[in-house]
Structure formats: structure tokens, C-alpha cells
Amino acid sequence: MHMSSVIPDSIPFLDLVTPHKELEEELTGVFRKALVTAGFIGGPMVEEFESAFATFCGASLSIAVSSGTDALRFAIMACGVKPGDVVVTVPHTFIATVEAISQAGAIPEFVDIDKRTYNMSVEMLQQFLEEQCTRGRSGQLLSLRSGRPVTAVVPVHLYGQMADMDPILSLAGKYSLTVIEDACQAHGAEYFSKKLNRWMKAGSMGRAAAFSFYPGKNLGACGEAGAVTTDDAGVADRVKVLRDHGQLKKYYHNIEGYNGRLDAIQAGILHVKLGHLSKWNALRRDRAAEYNQLLAGNEDLSLPYEPSWSNAVYHLYVIRASDRDGMMKHLKQAHIGTGIHYPIPLHLQNAYTRLNYGPGDFPVAESASAEIVSLPMFPQLAPDQQARVAHEIVAFTSKTVCKLAESEHILSA
């Protein structure tokens, strides 16, 4: 949302106008090229983007599709997850993670998140596999909760920071689970794998990964778009069939598929923007470092935690405050945009009452959702804007401290 045209000194949560203005010539060139060739769906512009995006992610293959949700659903299906299988993920993510699992016919089951990184807790995953599963007659791993085979795990690289992939991959190996990364918020994020002794990009560690190019993402289309990355040619072929009505050859349908293809114009736009992504990600990291400095030492806040193995790309800059709602109200009055990602964990959403979870089942996710707030974060965010955001936050927290001190004084008087 671009609000600065409404109120001169407002600071939007996200500015999508400026970066597109900067690239206007190149982007309209893509449109002109598509008009000349009338190749609107699939074709060379899509293939060229797919190849460039695979290279960017350090994966052998990338298959462009029509959204991140489709990418994740197709990846899950293409990796061989069957209807009725259990897929393990986290409750603290955008609903699309779980929609993709259940719309692939699988049963989502949750493990809690780590309280500092907000990503899948390795301890909780291990506890789930050791204590909430059993071996069936054929040796298959069964969930005690549903009695169904557990076959895959979907770690989400939330806010632009990768989940702790080494231990997740080794647990998955031990229990024969397929790992599918939800990398929808993590284009270009890196993880230092001790096992491989090198930095690995999001989208290059699981059997397959899903990316979203929703406009507000670090790499965003001018509309809906997504991609699957994988090193597995079989997975890639199955995704291609799924995205195109179950056909590899026109009108020969081996399975029932979907209309999940990407428009050539969106692929062309993404290809142009991909050339700027590393610079934009570096700017996001700078902006995050600036916030870290400006907000350091404020005892009422918890700032983002980045482990030494992580090189995060700050899709979102998320802090934690006990009076989160009060702070958001204060910032709104100062014309500063904020967001909550996400206010209700998925196990407590009305859409998932059928999963039979309840309050208290995932306490870390529940307390995070009550206290987190996302501050303005985009590559073009200016230092003076950040200084004003920090100034208002400090003003709010010191006012709260004064109010507390006052009430304690009244009580003790």
C-alpha cells in the first residue's frame, strides 16, 4: 500500500510504487514484447525466467506456476505425498501453507515454533516424531493423532529467514520423510549447512521448494505468480503436468491436473526484477541492521534473532512488544503503517476446527501471535523514515513505562 500520496509525512508499511517507477521502461518493454509475439502463456519468456531463477536459487530446475499456493500444492503432490498422508508443518505461517497440504489431499499436523526465530522448532519436530508417532505393521511411521502415515515435512522460511535445515533434514532422513520447503517469503535467503560446509540458498535444500511472487514479496510479479525449484527431474516433470491440466502432450491427459501456468508477461517482469533482487535483499539487510541499532537496549521489545548460520533477507522485520496493540495504535496515529504476520495461529482458525486442536496446544506460536508486529520494511525505506519509526516506538514504550511507574506509585501511596 502506498499511502504517502495521501498524507505527506506518512510512512507506508510497504511501498510498491517507487520500485516499479524506477523500472518502468524495462517493464513496459516486456509488455510490448509480449504484444508483438502474442505469446501470452508459457513460451520462451517463461522458460528463460525459469532457468534464471533456478540458477539464482542454486537448484537445477525451476517450474513457474500461477501462485505460491499452487507451487506448494504441486510440489507436495509431485513429491509423492498421497491423499490421507500426514504432512507436518507449523501453525505460525500464512494459511496457504496448510491450504496446499490439505488441498493435496493430505492431513496437516503441527509442531510448535522456536521462540526466537519463529520457525519450526527442531526439538518439537523431534518430540513429535519420537512421542506422537508409532510404527505400523509394515514399519510405516503412523501419527498417533490420526492413525495415518507421516510422509512429509514442510518447514517454512518465515519472514525471510531459513528454518534450521540441517537437523530437520537429518530427522527427515531418519524417519524417511520428504522435505518440501515453503520458501514463499525467502527468495535469496541463505543457510550455512555444517554438514555440507557451505552456504545454501532457500529452495536448494529440500526435495522441492515453493516460492511465491505475490507483488509484496522480495521478488514480486505485477500480479499472481509462483515457482517450484528442485534438483529432481521426475518431480519437475510431474509439476509441469499438474500445472497444465495433466498433459505433457496437448490433449493427452494422463491425470487430471490444474490450470496453474504462468503468464509470459509475469515471467518477463520477474526476469527483469530478478536482476535487482540481490541488491534489494542487501538493502533490506541494511534496513534491518539500522532498526536493530535504533531499537537496541529497549527492554520492552524483542528484536529479530538471526543465528550465525543464517543470512536472512528480511521479507518482514518483526519485533515483539507486550502491548503490541497499543503500539500499533500509537504508530497509526503517527501515520506509520504496520502489520501482524499472523494474528491467529492456524490451529485456532475457524477454517481448521476439524483438525481438533485447541488453545494451549502450541504455546510458543500462540504467545508470538499476540505480541508480534511487523514494521515498515522495503528496500527503498529511507534512514530518516526509519529514525521516525524508532522515535515513535521509543516514545510509546517510555510513555508506557511512565504510566506503570505512576500506577505503582498510586498503589504504594
Ligand X SMILES: Cc1ncc(COP(=O)(O)O)c(C=O)c1O
Q: On the CB side of 213, how many CA atoms lie within 13 Å of its CA?
A: 29
Name the segment binding ligand X (CB under 6 A); options: 24-32, 179-187, 228-236, 377-385. Answer: 179-187
> Contact between 69 and ligand X (CB under 6 A)?
yes
What residues numbered 71-100 form the site for ligand X, per CB under 6 A? Answer: 72, 93-94, 96-97
> Contact between 212 and ligand X (CB under 6 A)?
yes
Residue closer to ligand X, measured from CB, 96 or 124: 96
**What is the C-alpha separation between 254 and 272, in angstroms, rounded?**
35
Size of residue set near ligand X by CB under 6 A: 15
> Contact between 53 and ligand X (CB under 6 A)?
no
Contact 80, 251 (CB under 8 A): no
Name the segment binding ligand X (CB under 6 A); options: 131-139, 178-186, 265-273, 323-331. Answer: 178-186
Residue closer to ligand X, measured from CB, 70 or 85: 70
Name the segment binding ligand X (CB under 6 A); options: 45-53, 64-72, 169-177, 274-282. Answer: 64-72
> Contact between 302 and ligand X (CB under 6 A)?
no
Maximum separation of any 2 CA atoms in the chain, in Å = 84
Among 185, 369, 385, 386, binds ligand X (CB under 6 A): 185
Minimum distance of ligand X from residue 68's CB (angstroms): 2
Contact 292, 393 (CB under 8 A): no
Residue closer to ligand X, measured from CB, 203 or 226: 226
> Contact between 310 and ligand X (CB under 6 A)?
no
Which residue of the chain is nearest ligand X when measured via CB?
68
Minimum distance of ligand X from residue 342's CB (angstroms): 9
Residue closer to ligand X, measured from CB, 374 or 397: 374
The stretches of 104-247 forming alpha helices (DSSP H) are 122-131, 165-174, 233-243
| Integer CA distances (angstroms), 313 to 162, 400, 413, in order | 9, 32, 50
Q: Which of 122, 118, 96 is nearest to 364 (CA)?
A: 118
Contact 236, 61 (CB under 8 A): yes
Residue closer to ligand X, measured from CB, 56 or 159: 159
Residue closer to ligand X, measured from CB, 109 or 392: 109
Q: Which of 330, 304, 306, 334 is nearest to 317 (CA)?
A: 304
Minimum distance of ligand X from residue 214's CB (angstroms): 4
Among 12, 30, 67, 112, binds ligand X (CB under 6 A): 67
Among 182, 190, 366, 392, binds ligand X (CB under 6 A): 182
Residue closer to ligand X, measured from CB, 161 or 185: 185
**What is the C-alpha separation between 213 and 305, in angstroms, rounded?**
25
Q: For residue 191, which amino acid is it? A: Y
> Contact between 202 and ligand X (CB under 6 A)?
no
Q: Which of 77, 55, 21 is nearest to 278 (CA)?
A: 55
Output the nine-digit C-alpha cell for 86: 500426514
Minimum distance of ligand X from residue 213's CB (angstroms): 7
* Cβ partners under 8 Å of residue 117, min gap 6: 161, 163, 164, 305, 307, 310
Residue closer to ligand X, measured from CB, 177 or 184: 184
The stretches of 264-382 forming alpha helices (DSSP H) are 264-295, 324-333, 363-371
Minimum distance of ligand X from residue 185's CB (angstroms): 5
**What is the C-alpha separation between 171 and 167, in angstroms, rounded?**
6
Q: Which of 295, 260, 264 is nearest to 392 (CA)?
A: 295
Residue closer to ligand X, measured from CB, 72 or 321: 72
Torsion of Cα atoms, 231 then 233 then 236 then 241, to 10°:
180
* Residues engaged in binding ligand X (CB under 6 A): 67-69, 72, 93-94, 96-97, 156, 182, 184-185, 212, 214, 226
